[in-house]
Amino acid sequence: MAQSGQHMPLEVQHIRKALLKEFGEIISMDDFVKKDPKERETALLSRAVSAKAARILTDCTSEEAAAGVIDGRDDFGIDCVAFSASGSEIYLIQAKWKDKGTASFDTEAALKLIHGLKKLDNRDLDHFNERLQLLSDRIHGVLKLPTCKVHLVIALMGDGRLSPETANILDEAADEFGGQGRTVAYRVVNQAEFHRAVREDLEPQPITLRATMNREWYARETPFKAVIGEVSADQLARWYGGKDEGEGHGERLYDRNVRRSLGLTGVNQTMVDSMLEDPEGFLYRHNGITVQCDEIIQEYPLKRAVGQPTILTLTNASVVNGAQTVTSAFRAYEKDAEATEEAYVMVRVISLDGTPEGFGRSITKATNTQNHMERRDFIAIDPVQSEIQKDFRISLDKEYVFRRGELDPAPESGCSVTEAATALACMHRDSSLAVRVKGSTNALWSEGPGGAYTRLFGQQPSALQIWRAVQVLRLVRDELTKTRAKLSGRPASIADSGTLLIAHLVFQRVGRERFEEPEGDWEGVLAEIPSQVSSVLACLISMVDTLFTPKSFVTSTFANEERCARLVTAVLGTLNRGVGPDSPMNLAALMKTAGPGRQRRPQTVRLLIDHDAIEEGTRLEYAPSAVEELAIGAWLNADPRRRRASWVNDRRNPLLWEADGKRYSPTGLISQMWNEADWKEQWSAVQGPKQWRVPGEGTLVEIAERLWQRIAAGEAAEDDHLS
């Protein structure tokens, strides 16, 4: 059941979400079965706070912490019991949960906790509940030790400040219990510590890499430690996909990089071929890689001197430049391990120990020049993006992808930074952002006082706000797709060219505050979007002609920030005054079946190639039907590369299949996959362009259709203008 999120601070929301996910199914709530759901959740959260404190203090497992929760009737102020790994320390935990993060610990609570300690010390267990009875032997095993240590733990969803009176009570208890080697200490685990623990749970474990430089290498100690030398490609391959301890880190190698590996692009396939065909010459043809780490430990198996072999151990390491090289080394290693032993790569290792703040990010940004870089790539090292990703996971249990090369999540599972930024741009009160994005999504990543990225992410938006904005943008686009099919001529062109401005208008009609109200009727808001789109589109179609004449260029109108600002003011003003059913802005009156004489659309691939509609190297995904998934899904899942290809600007064979590095036509690749999967009942008809899609853009057919509609609408508008 939802808490009163309207008053719940974001940090508390994060903690609540994490606690319910970790402990919601493993902490016993049998005594709350018949109680109010909200009361039950509050009790569960209080118990989960005590269990989380046990985890923080003892490093026990979630299950062990949950087993130590004794909160309920006859707990005598003790909500959870935990033990140190050594078995000589015991933690008696009392927890307090408050939705607003204002939980406190007063003198009454302190006296109750101390009373519980005294009863345990006296072995007075008859009145404790059954949960504690199960732990009684272990409790007394610790308390009877002459050097036992008791920790009185106050776990609070608040700032953790204790009054002087409360602190005095706890100090007196420590003096009373202690002596002859036994000690009592008290400590507070506050909201900030819980939030830090939740964040740390999301962080991956640090990576330790080992590399041997047998040939040429050079080291410098000042101003910062760095080692530069040659490393065999097979070592890099094992970093990515090895089987031994410390190997096989996969995409985690690139956590500090501006992007993941981009899959099997044309550039990367060239590197694979180069390693296999001429391994000794590889060093001279490629830029090498850069690795950052917290510490470099150097060992010398023979003699401590430059020119002699050296073994490097790199703690908390990440490949910040050269992801494509490392991934290509692994692909080559899979095909011919011996060849990669002969191929060497120049590796630069930089230790961040002692470096100033921001030094690592500046190195990452400066070194990423080998593959084509986009402004979007550099936002991956902006801490705001990783914070948003964590907010998505904790608050919404959804994925947020911000590195180029990562696969976009399924629509219901999350979104990419591009989709999020586009939605935020449309939601912004300044319509010029939506106009810029329509021209190119690269406009999203410009920084500085007037830059779109700074204006959208300069103050971190919440995951809830972003996700709701994405939901609205998706609904607007879906509704426009359905409506567009019923329009023709100039109205259809306005619907196509004005998509993002229409979305902007819908956002303004909904009102920004609706995106930030956790307790609001959000489902009701979503249900109103189709009618909002209909009203906005009808009014916009009328206003374009009213303000700029029926002979104005549609595409140039929606590319002009000043004109779009005028349209926004006019449409919102008109809609706020109300539009009747007999108004010329009634959308139903504009809908009609497209007339004859439409020029036939060229073949999909040729159209896309001729108009440079898809960037070279763009990743595509196979979109099988339900029947295909059932027939060959297991074969596809055996190697995820079988579902992926990259775009090559070649009319005949534009798809580079990741699974084998060869080029195919869309239909030819589908046939090849069906044959390799040995699908004996495969269909005779194959529709490849409908089954390969660009994530976030649609299938090849859908992309081509949108392109053709823009072309046809532009030609019609040009004819109108000339007449």
How far is the C-alpha of 238 from the C-alpha of 365, rounded, in Å? 26
Beta bridge partners of 400: 415
How far is the C-alpha of 561 from the C-alpha of 572, rounded, in Å? 16
How far is the C-alpha of 569 from the C-alpha of 554, rounded, in Å? 18
The separation between CA 718 and the C-alpha centre of its own chain, rounded to angstroms, equals 43
The residue assigned the tokens 């430059």 is 306
Beta bridge partners of 558: none
Cβ–Cβ < 8 Å for 173, 117: yes
Q: Which of 6, 85, 12, 84 is nearest to 48 (CA)?
A: 12
Cβ–Cβ < 8 Å for 568, 527: no
Q: Which of 111, 68, 107, 112 is nearest to 90 (CA)?
A: 68
Instruction: Tell me the torsion sign for CA atoms 43, 45, 51, 56.
Output: negative
User: What are 65-75's pLDDT values in tens digits?
Assistant: 999 999 999 99
The residue assigned the tokens 């990259």 is 646
Instruction: Tell me the torsion sign for CA atoms 175, 176, 178, 179.
Output: positive
How far is the C-alpha of 615 from the C-alpha of 627, rounded, in Å? 31
Question: Rounded to 10 degrees, what is the CA torsion of 275, 277, 282, 285?
Answer: -110
- What's the pLDDT at 259? 56
The one-letter code for the residue type at 482 is K
> How much of the chain is in helix, strand and coil states, percent to nearest 5?
50, 15, 35
66-104 per-residue burial string, b: 16 or more CB within 10 A, e: under 16: bbbbbbbeebbbbbbbbbbeeeebbbbbbbbbbbebebb
The residue assigned the tokens 């430089």 is 213
User: What are 623-679's pLDDT values in tens digits?
Assistant: 988 888 888 999 999 998 999 999 988 888 899 999 999 999 998 899 899 989 998
Contacts of 628-636 with C-beta under 8 Å, sequence gap 24+, read 631/677, 631/679, 631/681, 631/682, 632/673, 632/674, 632/677, 632/679, 635/676, 635/677, 635/678, 636/673, 636/677
> What pTM value is reported for the model?
0.57
Concatenate the DSSP letters of all residues of 62-129 into one string: HHHHHHTB--STT-TT--EEEE-TTSSEEEEEEEE--TTS-----HHHHHHHHHHHHHHHTT--TTS-
Cα distances (angstroms) measured from residue 684 to each of 215, 281, 621, 690, 693 = 57, 46, 22, 15, 21
How far is the C-alpha of 602 from the C-alpha of 612, rounded, in Å? 14
Q: Which of 157, 148, 187, 166 is nearest to 8 (CA)?
A: 157
How far is the C-alpha of 54 from the C-alpha of 51, rounded, in Å? 5
DSSP-derived 3-state class of residue 616: coil
- What's the pLDDT at 459? 84
Low-confidence residues of the chain, pLDDT below 50? 1-5, 370, 372, 581-582, 584, 592-598, 718-719, 721-723
Cβ–Cβ < 8 Å for 6, 517: yes
How far is the C-alpha of 489 from the C-alpha of 354, rounded, in Å? 65
How far is the C-alpha of 650 from the C-alpha of 616, rounded, in Å? 10
With both helix axes pointing from N to C terminus, report the angle between 191-202 and 37-58 in degrees, rounded to the nearest 10.
Answer: 80
How far is the C-alpha of 310 from the C-alpha of 288, rounded, in Å? 19
Cβ–Cβ < 8 Å for 242, 341: no
Maximum distance among all Cα pairs of the chain, rounded to whole angstroms: 104
How far is the C-alpha of 185 from the C-alpha of 173, rounded, in Å? 9
C-alpha count within 13 angstroms, C-beta hemisphere, residue 661? 13
Cβ–Cβ < 8 Å for 446, 375: yes
Cβ–Cβ < 8 Å for 273, 285: no
